[in-house]
Amino acid sequence: MVYAKINGRKGIVMVKKFEEKTLSSESIYKGKIIDVKIDEVKLPDGKRRRGN
pLDDT score for 3:
63
- pLDDT at position 15 is 67
Whether residue 1 is predicted with pLDDT greater than 80 in this model: the reply is no
pTM over 0.75: no
Biggest alpha carbon–alpha carbon distance for the chain: 40
In the chain, where the domains are located: 20-52
Q: What is the rounded distance in angstroms from the CA atom of residue 28 to the CA atom of residue 45?
A: 27
pLDDT tens figures, 2-52: 566 667 777 776 667 778 899 999 999 999 999 999 999 998 889 999 986
* Contact residues for 30 (Cβ-Cβ < 8 A; gap 6+): 36
